[in-house]
C-alpha cells in the first residue's frame, strides 16, 4: 500500500516511517512533487490535520494522512495548543517557542502539560481520525538535543528525562505521535489483509 504523509518535517517523517510495517510505502510531500506550504487555518488540531490531508488528496489524488500536534499547558489554558509551531511568532522558531513557554511558567508551580496528536486519514474516499496523548510536565530549563519542537522542555510522566534526552526508540514507544500512529498502523494493517 502506498500512502502520503502530508508533512515537510523530515524528523516527523522519519519517526513515523520507523513505526510503519514494511508493506506500507510511505511517501513524503517531496516524493509527490508538493513543495507548497499547506496553510493551517483551522482553530483545532483536528481541523488542521483534515485541511492538510484533504489538500493532498484533492490536489494530487493520493491516499494521504496528516497530523497536527500541540503542546497544551494547563496553567496557560491549553496554550500553545493549535498555535504550537508559531507560538512565539510566524517565524516558527523552536527556540523562541520554548523560551516563551518557559518565561510564562517562570513564577508558577503548576507545570503540568500534555502533548496531543491528531491524525486525519483519507483512504479510498473515506476519512478516519486517530489521536494520541501523553501527559507530563514542563521542565525549568531545556534539557537534551534530541527530538524536535518542545521535546527539550517536556518530561513525560514516569520518566526523569525529557523527550529531548530520551533515545528515539524510547520516545517512539510512549509519545503522543507514537500512540496516534499505532492506531493508524493497526487500522491500515486491517485494510491490507
Which of 68, 77, 96, 99 is catalytic? The answer is: 68
For 53, residues 6+ apart whose C-beta sits below 8 A from its C-beta are 6, 64, 65, 66, 120, 121, 122, 127
Report CA torsion sign: 71, 76, 77, 80.
negative
Question: Would you call 37 a catalytic residue per the annotation?
Answer: no
d(CA 74, CA 67): 22
For 143, residues 6+ apart whose C-beta sits below 8 A from its C-beta are 152, 153, 161, 162, 164, 165
Listed residue (72, 96, 97) closest to 176, CA to CA: 72
E-strand stretches of the chain: 2-5, 25-27, 64-73, 112-123, 126-138, 154-156
Cis peptide bond upstream of 80, omega within 30: yes
Task: Catalogue the active-site residues.
Answer: 68
Amino acid at each position: 500500500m502506498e500512502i502520503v504523509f502530508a508533512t515537510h518535517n523530515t524528523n516527523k517523517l522519519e519517526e513515523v516511517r520507523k513505526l510503519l510495517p514494511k508493506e506500507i510505502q510511505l511517501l513524503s510531500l517531496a516524493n509527490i512533487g508538493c513543495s507548497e506550504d499547506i496553510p493551517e487555518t483551522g482553530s483545532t488540531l483536528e481541523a488542521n490535520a483534515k485541511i492538510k490531508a484533504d489538500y493532498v488528496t484533492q490536489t494530487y489524488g493520493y491516499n494521504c494522512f496528516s497530523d497536527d500536534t500541540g503542546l497544551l499547558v494547563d496553567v496557560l489554558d491549553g496554550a500553545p495548543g493549535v498555535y504550537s509551531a508559531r507560538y512565539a511568532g510566524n517565524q516558527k522558531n523552536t527556540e523562541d517557542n520554548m523560551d516563551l513557554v518557559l518565561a510564562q511558567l517562570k513564577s508558577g508551580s503548576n507545570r503540568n502539560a500534555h502533548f496531543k496528536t491528531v491524525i486525519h486519514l483519507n483512504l479510498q474516499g473515506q476519512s478516519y481520525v486517530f489521536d494520541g496523548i501523553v501527559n507530563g510536565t514542563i521542565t525549568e530549563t531545556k534539557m537534551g538535543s534530541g527530538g524536535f519542537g518542545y521535546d527539550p522542555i517536556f518530561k513525560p510522566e514516569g520518566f526523569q528525562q525529557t523527550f529531548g534526552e530520551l533515545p528515539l526508540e524510547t520516545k517512539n514507544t510512549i509519545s503522543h505521535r507514537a500512540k496516534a500512529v499505532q492506531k493508524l498502523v493497526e487500522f491500515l494493517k486491517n485494510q491490507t489483509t
